Structure 1
Amino acid sequence: MTREKGAAAQLAKALAIVLGTDEVPLRLRAWDGSEAGPPGAPVLEFRSRRALRRILWSPGQLGLSRAYVSGDVDAPGDIFAGFTALSSVGKFSEPGPFTPLTPRELVTLVTTAVRLGALGPNPSPPPEEARVARKGRLHTRRRDAAAISHHYDVGNDFYALVLGPSMVYSCAVWENGTPDGHGNLSGVEDRGLPAGLEEAQAAKLDLVCRKLGLKPGMRVLDVGCGWGSFALHAAQHYGVSVVGVTLSSEQAVLARKRAADAGLTEKIDIRVQDYRDVSDGPFDAISSIGMSEHVGREQTPHYVQVLHGLLRPGGRLLNHAISWNSGPTKPDPDSFIPRYVFPDGEMISLGEMVSALEGGGFEVLDVEALRLHYALTLRAWVRRLEENWDEAVRLTSLGRARVWRLYMASSALGFEAGLTGVNQVLVQRAGGAEPPLRRTDWV
């Protein structure tokens, strides 16, 4: 037997070291055609020695992510099954930063790489990696603009392909049914309730409008307005005027076009503007949907203070945000999400967000958890991406499409496992009309 024919078995040993487990729950396929691992298990394919070299230089999540984004590693078949198996064992099953390899583990990994002829210089990261400094002051206006541009200015056509006609990039609200663990709901279609992505996104937008108590003539601020979907829904169905702010120039261009096409330019004002620079309040209501994750823990009190100052007495703010549910931990700037998806993004716990809102002078009216709704939404986005794969690659790059597939699939599993959540927190500034006695205004 030559060295080449044993590549898969050697890879299995190396990956077990990285994962911190006795046995890899995957079927490994090597560049020489050899295979190792449990028959029938999800397949992880190492297409070149460079994949092992990437893992050697960055053991853990980042090395594997770079190998996948670059195409040196692939997960053919059901990506959810492969990621579920990978994240269910050893160090990858633990929330928080990856535990570094011990010196002994590192020596064993290097020895394996030598045997396979994979030792060599550190490969360049895939070009899709964010070009945002790892050090320096976070969340300055300039730095936030660069981070937002990395994620959102990748082409409106690409986002339309993934998100669908609604162009809503936050979790939908699937009104009823029971998640089956495969991105489907049982007991939905026969009840006439939202069964598809477009209906579920419309249900979410309307829920936000009802929670805010929107009425004709009100003036609303939409912080992080995206492609204008909430502004369009609120103006069309509730007769309000909306100021939408975003740091993405590409989002603003499309949002303005959509408003013009709908004949709503007099009702919708889309700006490329930092929320901290909005100075023409007060507003009757404020929506912040999927934006505060970009603010960061240290800046959250200031974020609350700014929005409080922009809201009239008695006005409502709805903060819709992803939360970290897995105990105290600091964000790892060298993990996949901050490197490739959301530079400088930071999830805080629901408790921290509620405390910040209360500490900033708001009264909490309602908290609604939508964790499983986001898992369903992400699975729907992954399905759209995979069904339109060739077009997605044409619109961006193969690496970018792989980044989105990896991040959306892994995020869906994180929501299903309860590592992350997403919550709508409805608050009111003191003064003005009293809030309703119960939530009957919006359920």
Structure 2
Amino acid sequence: MTTHKGHAARLAQALSVVLDTEELPLRLRAWDGSEAGPEGAPVLEFRSRRALRRILWSPGQLGLSRAYVAGDIDSPGDIFAAFTALSSAGKFAEPGPFRRLTAREMWTLLRTAVRLGALGPNPAPPPEEAKVVKKGRLHSRRRDSAAISHHYDVGNDFYALVLGQSMVYSCAVWPDGSYGTESPESGNRLAAGLEEAQEAKLDLVCRKLGLRPGMRVLDVGCGWGSFALHAAGKYGATVVGITLSTEQANLARKRAAEAGLTERVDIRVQDYRDIGDGPFDAISSIGMSEHVGREQTPAYAAALFSLLRPGGRLLNHAISWNAGPTRPDPDSFIPRYVFPDGEMISLGEMVAALEGTGFEVLDVEALRRHYALTLRAWVSRLEANWDHAVKLASLGRARVWRLYMASSALGFEGGLTGVNQVLVQRPGGDEPPLRRTAWL
């Protein structure tokens, strides 16, 4: 380890304590210009004493996240390289909540803060931190609506900048693995192919559901209406799309009108538990069930079962937690800043809930690597339009999305998280095809 005299060496010691690692795989740069750590390693920059103070008050992922969102910590250069190095160290390399520091470790951290003049009151969290956490009964209609609003009602223009013209906020389906992830240029190639990959995903869902002209389809968590428009425009379906986001609904309706599909696309601000005008011939749920919660998943499956006609299919497209039986840490970055009350469950739990309701499983397709590529494309679009993104939302919001999407990409690449399309059918009605060639 190469060091220069100054604060960086003490910061490296403090961060090693927090991460429970003997040697950091990063090069630290302190606010006084000093550096410590391996030459040539990705740089993590502490821009002020307040960064250390945040970590002292919340010694774990939350403190580090608050410091990054607030701009007290930065990672100049390739963010994926910095996060890859950080995720290999100590506590970031282990799934689940951070281990609480021992009294001895806290004393070491406190002593470092004293020596660096970083003691002081707990800094206020960045304004982008969710206000709905721990308020009201978990997954009540009111709390779910507030949680969805926190994430999705941040400006349609901001999302358009990140997602592109498709306005699809879920995993795309890529034709092959030739894009690579070895350089920033690969992100540019991914961004260029994003629209085609999202079109392929929407079409794949329509084929799996067996859509035909005149079918009545429910799109649960319809977002900005992309699947509804595709199903109505390309397959002649009549679609009811529901979302809890007013901003999403307004844009989805506008897009339907511009496409001349108002007669076949009905967009509602509505909870899936309040739908009373079934049955439907098919149901899509793309990137929505992560908001439902583990305890509510069986009731979610039962509700959708009751809304399908006999023989109707449901496609549930959802992120899964692959790293073992661990509960989410409410004081980690994702629930505090990105998806309040969101909860990833395993693929096995989801399939068990669907089968327990009475569904027959027709097909399961894992798309883990596809989501890693999708996230890298979104990061590339965000970074290429950074100044505009900051104007549309805020500097803190742009930093939240950069941190969230880059770290999520690494989670999918490392196998901690997956994403799966589970196709099921309500018994009765037409028999499914003998083989999956009907939708390949």
* Smaller-chain TM-score bracket: over 0.9
Instruction: Give, as a single letter, the amino acid of the residue that structure 1 aligns with 2:439.
Output: W
**Match for residue 253 of structure 2 among 247, 252, 256:** 256
Instruction: Give, as a single letter, the amino acid of the residue that structure 2 aligns with 1:438.
Output: R
**Match for residue 294 of structure 2 among 289, 294, 297:** 297
Matches within 5 A, 1:271-350: 271-350=268-347
The number of residue pairs the alignment matches comes to 435
Say which SS state the counterpart of residue 97 (structure 2) adopts. coil
Which residue matches 2:414? Answer: 417
Q: Is the 8 A contact 1:316 1:429 kept in 2?
A: yes
Kindly provide the CA deviation profile for residues 267-300 of structure 1, in whole angstroms up to 9, marking residues without a partner as x: 0000000011011000000000000000000000
The verdict on how the C-alpha distance between 1:288 and 1:184 changes in structure 2, with shifts beyond 3 A counting, is farther
Instruction: Give, as a single letter, the amino acid of the residue that structure 2 aligns with 1:255.
Output: A
The verdict on how the C-alpha distance between 1:416 and 1:183 changes in structure 2, with shifts beyond 3 A counting, is farther
Q: Displacement of 1:180 after TM fit?
A: 2.9
Q: Distance in 2 between matches of 1:194 and 1:43?
A: 25
**Sequence identity, in percent?**
82
Q: Displacement of 1:89 after TM fit?
A: 1.5
Which residue matches 2:371? Answer: 374
Say which SS state the counterpart of residue 22 (structure 1) adopts. coil
Which residue matches 2:171? Answer: 171
Q: Distance in 2 between matches of 1:253 and 1:140?
A: 24
Instruction: Give, as a single letter, the amino acid of the residue that structure 2 aligns with 1:78.
Output: D
Q: Distance in 2 between matches of 1:194 and 1:438?
A: 34
**Match for residue 246 of structure 1 among 230, 237, 243:** 243
The verdict on how the C-alpha distance between 1:147 and 1:229 changes in structure 2, with shifts beyond 3 A counting, is same
Q: Is the 8 A contact 1:183 1:379 kept in 2?
A: no
Say which SS state the counterpart of residue 315 (structure 2) adopts. strand
Matches within 5 A, 1:350-369: 350-369=347-366
Q: Is the 8 A contact 1:52 1:118 kept in 2?
A: yes
Q: Distance in 1 between matches of 2:27 and 2:396?
A: 24
Q: Are 1:225 and 2:251 an aligned pair?
A: no
Q: Is the 8 A contact 1:183 1:376 kept in 2?
A: no
Which residue matches 1:154? Answer: 154
Q: Is the 8 A contact 2:191 2:378 kept in 1?
A: no
Q: Is the 8 A contact 2:191 2:380 kept in 1?
A: no
Q: Distance in 1 between matches of 2:102 and 2:352?
A: 39
Instruction: Give, as a single letter, the amino acid of the residue that structure 2 aligns with 1:98.
Output: F
Q: Displacement of 1:175 after TM fit?
A: 1.9
The verdict on how the C-alpha distance between 1:343 and 1:120 changes in structure 2, with shifts beyond 3 A counting, is same
Q: Displacement of 1:102 after TM fit?
A: 1.0
Q: Distance in 2 between matches of 1:56 and 1:179?
A: 41
Say which SS state the counterpart of residue 6 (structure 1) adopts. coil
Q: Displacement of 1:133 after TM fit?
A: 3.5
Q: Is the 8 A contact 1:283 1:312 kept in 2?
A: yes
Q: Displacement of 1:181 after TM fit?
A: 3.5
Q: Are 1:393 and 2:399 an aligned pair?
A: no
Which residue matches 2:431? Answer: 434
Q: Distance in 2 between matches of 1:34 and 1:143?
A: 46
Q: Displacement of 1:135 after TM fit?
A: 5.5
Q: Distance in 1 between matches of 2:314 and 2:397?
A: 34
TM-score, structure 2 as length reference: 0.97
Q: Displacement of 1:91 after TM fit?
A: 1.2
Q: Displacement of 1:34 after TM fit?
A: 0.7
Say which SS state the counterpart of residue 363 (structure 2) adopts. strand
Kindly provide the CA deviation profile for residues 165-185 of structure 1, in whole angstroms up to 9, marking residues without a partner as x: 000000000022346333899
Q: Distance in 2 between matches of 1:283 and 1:185?
A: 44
Which residue matches 2:180? Answer: 180
Instruction: Give, as a single letter, the amino acid of the residue that structure 1 aligns with 2:55.
Output: I
The verdict on how the C-alpha distance between 1:319 and 1:390 changes in structure 2, with shifts beyond 3 A counting, is same
Give the root-mean-square deviation of aligned CA atoms: 1.6
Which residue matches 2:7? Answer: 7
Instruction: Give, as a single letter, the amino acid of the residue that structure 2 aligns with 1:181.
Output: T
The verdict on how the C-alpha distance between 1:222 and 1:185 changes in structure 2, with shifts beyond 3 A counting, is farther
Which residue matches 1:213? Answer: 210
Q: Is the 8 A contact 2:135 2:143 kept in 1?
A: no
Instruction: Give, as a single letter, the amino acid of the residue that structure 2 aligns with 1:126.
Output: P
Q: Distance in 1 between matches of 2:322 and 2:181?
A: 19
Kindly provide the CA deviation profile for residues 234-286 of structure 1, in whole angstroms up to 9, marking residues without a partner as x: 11110000000000000000000000000000000000000110110000000
Q: Distance in 1 between matches of 2:82 and 2:32?
A: 21
Q: Distance in 2 between matches of 1:390 and 1:112?
A: 36
- Gap runs ≥5 in structure 1: none
- Gap runs ≥5 in structure 2: none
The verdict on how the C-alpha distance between 1:50 and 1:195 changes in structure 2, with shifts beyond 3 A counting, is closer
The verdict on how the C-alpha distance between 1:43 and 1:183 changes in structure 2, with shifts beyond 3 A counting, is closer
Q: Is the 8 A contact 1:149 1:247 kept in 2?
A: yes
Say which SS state the counterpart of residue 174 (structure 1) adopts. coil
Q: Distance in 1 between matches of 2:276 and 2:185?
A: 44
Which residue matches 2:50? Answer: 50
Q: Is the 8 A contact 2:136 2:143 kept in 1?
A: no
Q: Displacement of 1:92 after TM fit?
A: 1.1
Q: Distance in 2 between matches of 1:158 and 1:357?
A: 35
Q: Is the 8 A contact 2:133 2:336 kept in 1?
A: no
Q: Is the 8 A contact 1:227 1:251 kept in 2?
A: yes
